């Protein structure tokens, strides 16, 4: 359990952030340029105690490269493609979907916009 998750038993704010096209410009399978405005917000969330999950389709070697890139560039991540310990403990195990209060992704569509055909 990370220090962020030890908030008197309360659920921490959890943010899941996509890698390609969000944290970095999309150059799959290479790693693109950092999207500074996204990383700035990630750092702000980190300072406020949010748990940040790297949420990506990358696996294996490509995932390891993304994690290494984040650490080398001081991009805060607490987990990669997995739920935080608080969620695992609270919901008695690991689900397939990563739980977060917000999902940040270049491919995201708001439900209301989707339903309206926007």
What pLDDT digit, counting tens, does each position of 30-47 carry?
999 999 999 999 999 999
Number of H helices, E strands in the chain: 4, 4
Q: Tokens representing 27?
A: 């150059």
Domain assignment of residue 16, given as a range: 3-116
The CATH number linked to 84 is: 3.40.50.1000
What the block records as the tokens of 63 is 């995932």
pTM across the whole model: 0.86
**pLDDT grade, residue 12 (50/70/90)?**
confident
Domain count, the chain: 1
């Amino acid at each position: 359990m990370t220090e962020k998750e030890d908030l008197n038993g309360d659920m921490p704010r959890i943010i899941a952030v996509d890698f390609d096209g969000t944290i970095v410009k999309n150059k799959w399978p290479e790693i693109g340029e950092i999207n500074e405005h996204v990383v700035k917000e990630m750092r702000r969330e980190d300072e406020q105690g949010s748990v940040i999950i790297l949420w990506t389709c990358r696996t294996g070697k490509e995932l390891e490269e993304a994690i290494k890139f984040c650490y080398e560039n001081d991009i805060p991540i607490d987990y990669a493609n997995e739920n935080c310990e608080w969620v695992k403990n609270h919901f008695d195990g690991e689900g397939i979907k990563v739980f977060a209060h917000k999902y940040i992704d270049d491919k995201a569509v708001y439900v209301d916009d989707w339903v309206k055909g926007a």
